C-alpha cells in the first residue's frame, strides 16, 4: 500500500503570498493517479487538480500542480481569503482503491 | 446541476446497523463508478468503498471489509451503504463521491482516476 505524507502539517501565510504544499509517496506512482482536493470548514472536499497537474473545471489558475515519481507539489499563488482551508492529496491504486494524505492546513498568519 | 445528496445518518449503538443512501441528479448516474469516503471528527479523509457503474464490482477498505456493503440502483439514481457491526471508530461524516476515469489525451491507454463530485455528507455517530 502506498502511503502519502503531506508537509507541512500547517502553513501560516498572509493573503497575497504564495503557498507551496508537498505530497510525498512511499513509492513511485503514476502522475496520472495523483489528485488534490480543498476542504473548507464545514464543507465537502472539492477537486482542484487531477493527473498531478490538470486543473479541474472552474478552478482558478492561481492553483497549479506539479511533480512526478514520488514527489508532488500544489502551488497556490496570490492567496485569497477563501484559499485558507485544508488540502489533501490523493492517489489511486489497485488496492486500496484510493488513499489520502493526512492533509495540510493553510491558515491566515 | 450535478448533485449528490446523502441521507440516512444518525445515532446508533455499537454493534448496530445503519443504511446510508445517496441520491444523484444532473448526470447519467448509470455510467459512473461511485465511492463512499468518510471523515472522523477532526481527522482526515478515508476512502471506504467503491462500486463500478454496473454494480457488479465492489471494493472496500480493510477497516470495513465484511461489515459494510455498497450497492446501487441505477434505475433510481441511488447509491447505498449498508453498515453492520458498527463500532465507535466508524463515527464520521460519510460522503458519496463520483468517480472519474478519463483517458490521458497525450497517452492513449493511460487513465486518470479521481473523484470529481461530492455530496455534502451525512453524519454517523456510534455511541451507547
CA distance B118 to chain A (A): 7
pLDDT category at B107 given cuts 50, 70, 90 is confident
| C-alpha R_g of chain B | 15
A56 interfacial to chain B (CB closer than 8 Å): yes
Facing residues of A99 across strands?
A: A91
**Mean of the pLDDT values across residues B117-124?**
98
Chain B residues lying within 8 Å of A47, measured CB to CB: 114-116, 118
Q: CA distances (Å), B114 to each of B62, B118, B123, in order?
A: 20, 11, 23
> How high is the pLDDT of residue B109?
81
* C-alpha B107 chain-centroid distance: 30
- Cα gap A44→B125, rounded to integer Å: 18
Confirm if B50 and B33 have CB atoms less than 8 A apart: yes
Q: Tell me the per-residue pLDDT of A35-47, one tens digit each, with 9 for 90 and over.
A: 999 999 999 999 9
Confirm if B98 and B5 have CB atoms less than 8 A apart: no
> How high is the pLDDT of residue A93?
82
Strand ordering across the sheet containing A71-76: A4-7, A19-25, A71-76, A63-68
Inter-chain CB proximity B104 and A95 less than 8 Å: no
Facing residues of B4 across strands?
A: B24
Q: CA distances (Å), B54 to each of B36, B72, B76, B79, in order?
A: 16, 8, 13, 12
C-alpha cell at A58: 472552474
DSSP category for residue A21: E
Q: Tell me the per-residue pLDDT of A28-85, one tens digit each, with 9 for 90 and over.
A: 998 889 999 999 999 999 999 999 999 999 999 999 999 999 999 999 999 999 999 9
The residue of chain B nearest to residue A49, with distances taken between CA atoms, is B114
Report which of B63, B120, B111, B54 is spatially closest to residue A44, judged by C-alpha positions: B120
Report which of B99, B121, B118 is spatially closest to residue B21, judged by C-alpha positions: B121
Which of A6, A7, A30, A32 is most worth mutating to test chain B (most B CB atoms within 10 A of its CB)?
A: A32
Average pLDDT of chain B, as a whole number: 96
> How high is the pLDDT of residue A38?
98
Q: Is A16 helix (H, G, I), strand (E, B) or coil?
A: coil
- Cα gap A65→B48, rounded to integer Å: 26
Among the partner residues A46, A47, A97, nearest to B59 by beta-carbon distance:
A97
> How high is the pLDDT of residue A94?
73
**Mean of the pLDDT values across residues A100-109?**
97
Q: Tell me the per-residue pLDDT of B18-58, one tens digit each, with 9 for 90 and over.
A: 999 999 999 999 999 999 999 999 999 999 999 999 999 99
Chain B residues lying within 8 Å of A99, measured CB to CB: 47
Confirm if B18 and B124 have CB atoms less than 8 A apart: yes
Amino acid at each position: 500500500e502506498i502511503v502519502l505524507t503531506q508537509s507541512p502539517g500547517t502553513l501560516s501565510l498572509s493573503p497575497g503570498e504564495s503557498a507551496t504544499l508537498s505530497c510525498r509517496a512511499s513509492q513511485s506512482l503514476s502522475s496520472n493517479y495523483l489528485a488534490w482536493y480543498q476542504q473548507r470548514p464545514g464543507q465537502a472536499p472539492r477537486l482542484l487538480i487531477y493527473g498531478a497537474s490538470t486543473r479541474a473545471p472552474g478552478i482558478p489558475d492561481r492553483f497549479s500542480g506539479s511533480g512526478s515519481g514520488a514527489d508532488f507539489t500544489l502551488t497556490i499563488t496570490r492567496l485569497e481569503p477563501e484559499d485558507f482551508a485544508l488540502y489533501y492529496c490523493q492517489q489511486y491504486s489497485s488496492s486500496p482503491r484510493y488513499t489520502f494524505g493526512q492533509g495540510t492546513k493553510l491558515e491566515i498568519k | 446541476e450535478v448533485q449528490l445528496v446523502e441521507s440516512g445518518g444518525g445515532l446508533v449503538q455499537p454493534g448496530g446497523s445503519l443504511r446510508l443512501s445517496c441520491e444523484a441528479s444532473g448526470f447519467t448516474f448509470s455510467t459512473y463508478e461511485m465511492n463512499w469516503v468518510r471523515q472522523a471528527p477532526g481527522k482526515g479523509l478515508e476512502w471506504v468503498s467503491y462500486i463500478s457503474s454496473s454494480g457488479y464490482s465492489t471494493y472496500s477498505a480493510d477497516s470495513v471489509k465484511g461489515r459494510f456493503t455498497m450497492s446501487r440502483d441505477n434505475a433510481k439514481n441511488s447509491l447505498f451503504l449498508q453498515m453492520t457491526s458498527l463500532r465507535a471508530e466508524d463515527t464520521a461524516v460519510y460522503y458519496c463521491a463520483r468517480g472519474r476515469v478519463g483517458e490521458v489525451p497525450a497517452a492513449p491507454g493511460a487513465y486518470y482516476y479521481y473523484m470529481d463530485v461530492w455530496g455534502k455528507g451525512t453524519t454517523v455517530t456510534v455511541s451507547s
